[in-house]
Structure 1
Amino acid sequence: MARPTPELIDALRKTARKLANGAPYQWGHMGGCNCGNLAQELTKLNRDQIHRYAMERYGDWNEQVEDYCSTSQMPIDLVINEMLNAGLSLEDLKHLEKLDDRQVLLRFPLEARYLKHNIRDDVVSYMNAWADLLEEQLLSKITLPIIQEMALA
């Protein structure tokens, strides 16, 4: 699971909001799919740049992640590296593309857990639920000094 960072939480929420408000979405487009839209937010590259970088190598996001090399200097690897630096893991990218991370899905009622990876509304719901989960994890790690003092008293 991703490292819960404010930057990543914010990027997930912004991406979900943009998609909900009609940002271009096309699951078969490397810059306009689930990972592609989040990559746009994290890297500030546009969808066409991300797609062009991905097309320098073969495959979808899952295959790009499998072939990722932190030292290759291939443009798509640089994009993935920026995403990893924001707190994501390679497994997170695979799960995002398929909307299938178990921890995220457990946040949905049982009847709503069967998300379709290429449906905009499902992507929005998944990203918002993931951001909520990461925010809870981040907040649980914060201890204010006054609370520590009260606990010791």
Structure 2
Amino acid sequence: MARPNPELIDALRRTARKLQEGAPYEWGHMGGCNCGNLAQELTKLTKAQIHAYAMQRYGDWNEQVADYCPTSYMPIDLVISEMLQAGLAIEDLKNLEKLTDRRVLARFPIEKRYLRHNHRDDVVAYLTEWAALLEDELLAKIELPKFDAVEWQPVS
């Protein structure tokens, strides 16, 4: 699972918001699908640039990720590297493309867990819940000092 960090959480929420507000979405387009839209936020590349980079090699995002090589200098591998540096894992990209991360899905009511990977509203719901999950994980790691309520002194 992704390394929770404020930048990644924000990128997930920005991607969900843009999709909800009508950003171009096309599941069969490498720059406009689930991963492609998040890649736009994380890399600041355009939909067309991401698609062009991906077309230099065969396959969809799952195949591109399976063939990922951090030292290849293939443009799509550079995109994937940037996404990984933002805190994502290879499995996250595979799960995002198909909306299949069990930890994310478990946060939905049972009757809403069957998301359609190529429907904008389901992608928005998945991204939003994933961001909330990562935020919960990040907040759980924060330990605040304990203070004595009377003297406002740290308690040892």
Please state which band the TM-score falls in when normalised by the shorter chain: over 0.9
The question of 1:125 aligning with 2:102 is answered no
Letter in 2 for 1:90: I
> Where does 1:1-153 land on structure 2 (aligned, <5 Å)?
1-146=1-146
Paired amino acid for 2:133: L
CA-based RMSD:
1.7
Rg larger in 1 or in 2? 2
Structure 2: which amino acid aligns with 1:128? T
Q: Which runs of 4+ in 1 moved over 4 A?
A: 149-153
Q: TM-score scaled by structure 2?
A: 0.94
User: Which structure has more helix as a fraction of its residues?
Assistant: 1
AA at the equivalent of 1:8: L
CA–CA distance in structure 1, aligned partners of residues 116 and 136 of structure 2: 25
The 3-state SS of whatever aligns with 2:130 is helix
SS in 2 for 1:49: helix
**Between the two proteins, what is the percent identity of the paired residues?**
73
Q: Which runs of 5 or more structure 2 residues have no equivalent in the other structure?
A: none
Structure 1 length as normaliser, TM-score? 0.96
